Amino acid sequence: MKKKIAYTNEPLGDVQVVADFLPSPSQLAYREDGVKVTLALSKRSVDFFKAEASKHQTQYQRMIRRLLDSYVEAHGEPTTSSKKSTRKATAL
C-alpha cells in the first residue's frame, strides 16, 4: 500500500447516516465471573468440540462455555431459590 490514494471532489450520491451499533469499549471488556466445575463429558462430544475449535483457531472449552451461555440466554436464567422436586415417585 505504498501508492497514494488520489481523492477527488465528486458527489457521493445518496448518503445515509447509520446509527452507532457497536458496543462501547467498557462492554467489550466486561467479563462475567467464572465458576470452575468438574464435568464428565462423552469422548465423542469432546472430540467434536476439539475438532471444531481447531478449525476456528479457538479453545474448545470456550466453545462449550459459549454454547451453555447461549442455552441459558435462550431459556431464561434459573431461579436462585433451591426448591426440592415435588414429583411423586411411582411404584414399580
* For the chain, domain boundaries: 39-75
Question: pLDDT per position in the chain (92 positions), as tens?
Answer: 688 888 888 888 888 888 888 877 777 777 788 899 999 999 999 999 999 999 999 999 999 999 998 898 888 866 654 444 444 545 54
- DSSP code, position 62: H
- DSSP code, position 92: -
Print the SS3 string covering 8-56: CCCCCCCCCCCCCCCCCHHHHHCCCCCCCCCCCCCHHHHHHHHHHHHHC
Whole-prediction pTM: 0.52
